[in-house]
């Protein structure tokens, strides 16, 4: 480390000001060293005060080109699905790709001038910037009509923890719509919007897609920019499309995919020359004769995906039947094993608490991406009691697990997990050399009944209700492979056999071969009616 300049500032940091910092860190220095470091820290302070205003380089929207109006909290929240309503569109779109379509943004996505709750009352934040994907959606001719409710701090798989209230399943009031993109799932399913954006760190696009009977794609890590979206951890952050049909899912993906110059999740070497058009290939598949739509495609039924403890037998039967039907469309279907699939979730459960300071406090050291210093200032350097109390069970557990791990294990625990998780990705890559896509159930059990008392019964009660819900989804966040949930039938609710709830089949592809997931899903969707199965 060298100095750019040495300031002789009249507001010199004194040794007495430095000593409390040293004491808190458990350090003892001689008076001579304290004097030297006081001078050096004075230069550090001077450099801080010389920084220009970073707002000048932020992607602040041109509000004449991208006007927004009628910002309000609606009285009718569509059974909890809406957080905030708005009308935002571009006056001069770059294309008509999404012309006439309405879109909801998950409420952890920045849209300037519109509150961004992240599903929690922990902090009140109104961003001044637009997320890249929000701009791209408007540039494609769509109208953003609101922010969809999301679960508290985006850390729940059951839809009863959002600060804006519980979100009900579109097929059965009183049942979960899934999480954390709960509002997006319901709004698309009910036709309240044409399309929606979800964000996914452990399954938060695919869980509500499966629960609500819609199509949801977690794209390849880095395909869609995460710029302007509240992060859980950059290594597992994904934003993607949610729609009623596979074609609409491909359409929205086409509008939002590609590097934006901000997000270091996006590897430019991987994306150079990568075809960012998806609808054309989806249309080409569905125009073929039924028995040739998937000709030449190899589909692997991932055995471990059906072996998760607690897997519902009706879901197994539904997904196996749907996978077998792919052979009628020209695909070769076989069984395949990836032992690491069952080992991934415990490592994910350790990795995510290690990311809690970043997701809750906004710490993103070492990342080249858009940061939110205004929100960091609102949150502070650690959670206050009031902020902690505003968290849902999942987020508060994650924060305490982080504190425990930090105290007892330090950074080595996170380091071990990151090393082990490389082997998980290698396992999928090896399997995907022999097949084009892998198949699992999206969820191992049907959506649960919403608790009457919300989440006031305590974290253990609520989190026990969704044991295993991430088993087939979270491994793909770790590895970055694309994964799509497609509705393929119904299963009986565990609490009431007279209640029927959607079942999702997960289609996993090679990295940056999202189109394979879309083609397989589009072919099955064209050939079969999931609502009659």
* Domain coordinates in residue numbering, the chain: 1-51, 68-532
Quick one: tokens of 393?
């069970």
Residues 6+ apart with CB under 8 A from 485: 205, 206, 209, 210, 215, 216, 217, 442, 504, 505, 506
Residues 6+ apart with CB under 8 A from 244: 188, 189, 191, 194, 214, 215
CA distances from 322 to 435, 469, 521 (A): 17, 21, 11
Quick one: tokens of 259?
């590097």
pLDDT tier at 3 (50, 70, 90 boundaries)? low
**Mean pLDDT lowest for which of 210-219, 275-284, 352-361?**
352-361
CB 217 within 8 A of CB 240: yes
- Find where tokens 């294990």 sit: 409
Q: How far apart are CA 277 and CA 100, in angstroms?
A: 20
Q: Phi and psi at residue 247, in whole multiples of 5°? A: -60, -45
Quick one: tokens of 388?
């902690």
Taking only the tens place, the pLDDT of each residue in 392-405 is 999 898 889 888 88
| Catalytically active residues, by annotation | 106, 180, 204
- CA–CA–CA angle 56, 62, 63 (5° rounding): 125
- Find where tokens 């009910």 sit: 190
Taking only the tens place, the pLDDT of each residue in 151-207 is 999 999 999 999 999 999 999 999 999 999 999 999 999 999 999 999 999 999 999
Phi-psi region of 99 (alpha: psi -120 to 50; beta: other; left: phi over 0): beta
CB 86 within 8 A of CB 73: no
**CATH of the domain spanning 68-532:** 3.90.1300.10
- Best CA proximity match to 504, nearest among 524, 527, 519: 524
Considering only residues 513 and 343, tell me which one the structure prediction assigns the higher pLDDT.
513
Considering only residues 360 and 441, tell me which one the structure prediction assigns the higher pLDDT.
441
* pLDDT, the chain, mean: 92
pTM (two decimals): 0.94
Stretch 434-444: mean pLDDT, rounded?
Answer: 98
Sign of the torsion formed by the C-alpha atoms of 266, 509, 244 and 255: positive
Radius of gyration over every alpha carbon of the chain, rounded to an integer in angstroms: 24
Taking only the tens place, the pLDDT of each residue in 258-315 is 999 999 988 766 666 667 899 999 999 999 999 999 999 999 999 999 999 999 999 9
Q: How far apart are CA 268 and CA 172, in angstroms?
A: 44
């Amino acid at each position: 480390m060298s100095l750019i300049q040495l300031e002789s500032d009249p507001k010199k940091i004194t040794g007495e000001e430095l000593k409390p910092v040293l004491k808190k860190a458990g350090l003892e220095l001689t008076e001579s060293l304290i004097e030297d470091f006081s001078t050096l820290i004075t230069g550090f302070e001077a450099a801080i005060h010389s920084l220009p205003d970073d707002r000048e380089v932020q992607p602040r929207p041109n509000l004449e080109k991208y006007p927004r109006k009628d910002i309000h909290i609606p009285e009718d929240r569509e059974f909890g699905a809406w957080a905030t309503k708005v009308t935002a569109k571009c006056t001069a779109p770059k294309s008509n790709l999404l012309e006439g379509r309405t879109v909801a943004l998950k409420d952890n996505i920045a849209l300037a001038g519109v509150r961004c709750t992240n599903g929690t009352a922990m902090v009140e934040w109104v961003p001044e910037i637009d997320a890249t994907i929000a701009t791209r959606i408007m540039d494609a001719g769509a109208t953003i009509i609101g922010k969809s409710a999301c679960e508290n701090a985006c850390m729940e798989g059951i839809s009863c923890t959002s600060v804006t209230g519980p979100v009900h399943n579109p097929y059965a009031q009183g049942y979960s719509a899934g999480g954390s993109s709960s509002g997006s799932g319901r709004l698309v399913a009910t036709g309240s919007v044409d399309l929606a954006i979800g964000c996914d760190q452990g399954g938060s696009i695919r869980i509500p897609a499966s629960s609500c009977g819609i199509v949801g794609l977690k794209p390849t890590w880095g395909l869609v920019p995460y710029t302007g979206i509240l992060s859980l951890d950059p290594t597992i952050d994904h934003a993607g499309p949610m729609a009623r049909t596979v074609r609409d899912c491909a359409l929205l993906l086409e509008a939002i995919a590609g590097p934006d110059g901000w997000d270091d999740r996006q590897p430019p070497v991987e994306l150079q020359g990568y075809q960012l058009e998806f609808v054309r290939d989806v249309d080409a598949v569905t125009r073929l004769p039924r028995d040739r739509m998937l000709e030449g495609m190899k589909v692997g039924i991932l055995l471990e995906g059906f072996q998760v403890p607690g897997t519902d037998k009706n879901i197994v039967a539904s997904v196996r039947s749907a996978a077998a039907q792919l052979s009628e469309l020209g695909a070769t279907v076989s069984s395949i094993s990836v032992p690491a699939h069952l080992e991934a979730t415990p490592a994910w459960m350790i990795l995510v608490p290690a990311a809690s300071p970043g997701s809750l406090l906004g710490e993103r050291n070492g990342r080249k991406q858009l940061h939110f210093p205004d929100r960091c200032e609102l949150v502070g350097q650690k959670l206050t009691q009031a902020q902690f109390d505003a968290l849902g069970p999942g987020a508060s557990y994650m924060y305490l697990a982080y504190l425990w791990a930090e105290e007892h294990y330090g950074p080595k625990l996170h380091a071990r997990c990151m090393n082990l998780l490389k082997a998980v990705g290698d396992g999928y890559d090896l399997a995907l050399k022999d097949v084009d896509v892998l198949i699992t159930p999206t969820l191992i059990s049907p959506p649960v009944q919403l608790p009457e008392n919300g989440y006031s019964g305590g974290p253990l009660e609520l989190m026990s209700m969704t044991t295993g819900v991430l088993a087939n989804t979270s491994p793909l966040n770790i590895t970055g492979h694309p994964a799509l949930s497609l509705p393929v039938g119904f299963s009986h609710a565990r609490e009431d056999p007279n209640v029927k709830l959607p079942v999702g089949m997960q289609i996993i592809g090679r990295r940056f071969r999202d189109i394979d997931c879309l083609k397989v899903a589009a072919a099955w969707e064209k050939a079969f009616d999931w609502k009659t199965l």
